Structure 1
Amino acid sequence: MSPTKVAVLGECVADAFATGSPSQGELTLRVLPGGGPANTAVALSRLGTPTRFLGRISRDSFGALFRAHLESSGVDLTGCVTADEPSTLAVATLDESGQACYSFHAEGAADWAWSPAELTAGRLGDVSCLHTGSLALVRAPGAEHVEELLGRTAARATVSIDPNVRAELVDPAVYRGRMPVWCKLADIVKLSDDDLEQIHPGVPFEQACDTWHAAGVRLVVVTRGSRGATVSVDGERATVPAPATAVVDTVGAGDSFTAGLLHRLHASGLLGGRLDVLGLDQAVDAAAFAVRVATLTCSVAGANPPWAPDLAG
């Protein structure tokens, strides 16, 4: 029997939204569970894909919030580590368009302290796909061990990566230097147009994409906000439009897109190997579904992705 679960590896982040008046000497933080990989796991599970999350979740109060949120969405947490280190905190400020800008409090956090003894095949389990990215892929000491797990997994499961560049914490040159390695390991690379500009400033999408294909990755998807997404399968490309929507905020939209993409590929029976039979039409179909998922996420506050019934019809 083929593996039915998709695994997501990475961080949980306490997303804090400030209210109040600094001029009056007080701010109140409203904290919601977030973190790119955790958001993706939640969205995948809500769509109906059995999902295992691999994370180092702190014993602190934020960690309890993460566990409750993931479990209430049906995510399998048996691959998680209960960690003594603190949770990562990100304080978000929203601009007039609903775009979030973050300040991170992440030094010494639980999310980055993976050891080889923790990242084992047994913890991963028998899965059809392993998705990872964001800060867990670039922050020491755990990043190199995450890459090692990707290398071991690529022989038996689809590997998906979302760099999700956080230039506030990690120099974009680090991502630039690792992209050839990630593209060799991965079957799917999804990134935003902002990520692309951070990694390869001024380089056209087509040129960057062809470089990544040459390194080994078959499917590259770049999300472009209200302009939809561009899909490239071995250099054959198409653009998927985004439906018009009233945007509340964009928090978690990219993570929901990734979940929608993986869910559709999983439902089509395409995950579980190196995507050898994937064609452009199938990739476009998956991206079109992913755009719908992201659009619904933008229509509500915070990283609150839709459930499968919300996409019916």
Structure 2
Amino acid sequence: MILKDYLTKDPIDRLSTFLSTLSITNRTPEYYVNWEKVARETEKFELELHTLNYLIGKDNIREEALDLFTRQPQLLRAIPSLIASRDKVLDILSMDEHDEMTFDHLNFSTIDTNRIVDYVDFIDKAGLLEFLQCKANRSLVDYVYGVETGLDSNGRKNRSGDTMEGIVGRHVQKICQQYVLEFKAQATAPFIRENWGVTVPVDKSERRFDVAVYCPIRHKVWLIETNYYGGGGSKLKAVAGEFTELSQFVTSSADDVEFVWVTDGQGWKTAHLPLSEAFAHIANVFNLSMLKEGYLAELFYLSSINGKE
């Protein structure tokens, strides 16, 4: 019983085991680019971008741009994508040769047709007209596809957490199928009460647990939270404290509710003290290596097969 050996250790020894088996990464190949999102964001302005191809290589490009946007002002909606901006309403600071500052506000979502010259001035000063005239030599759709691929890297921080939820979710699903347990991703306290008849105290009314597992034999619920921290930082202390409090909160239920925290990442090696405090209060703290070794499967197994822990 690997899990039993782990749980009977004192918190310091459990922490040592945990830290010595942290994974070096949770980055699957899918982590790097969300191609579906890239395609979706590019296709939003595909028609406008095809039309803007007209400006590529024009000698008198400012005049051509002014004429084109005057006749088809809605083409301006594609400009933020061309300058790698998610914002569609831009606040702009300009400085003259005397360092006098002026502030402007341009809305690329709802085009002000009375300010076409101001839009073109901005596009010119942003360097986009020069790019279109001298450097762009391919379809702007292809160019924005590349821009969106770069912008998508900003979402990788959140994607790391999504990856952990996916890994743990698939792992839990296989175990539940094997032992005839019920589970729900992003489970709320109302769902658990209405479907399984178990009351879960929550610290926030909108609280969603990454995965909830229900054992009909024991009328027991496990609440699983998961995350991953590849780097250190002050946030880790807050996270450890949050999950310590959450564990104590949900397990105060009159029903049989148990808390499980699946976390990983080399970042935890920089947060030894707050993590040790969490280990003193939370028994079921596992990493990916422990899931691979069968800790979670063993946790569910005894309840589902024998009806006892």
TM-score where L is the length of structure 2: 0.32
- With a CA cutoff of 8 Å and minimum separation of 6, indicate the structure with the bigger relative contact order: 2
TM-score where L is the length of structure 1: 0.31
Larger Rg: 2
Q: Which has the higher helix share?
A: 2
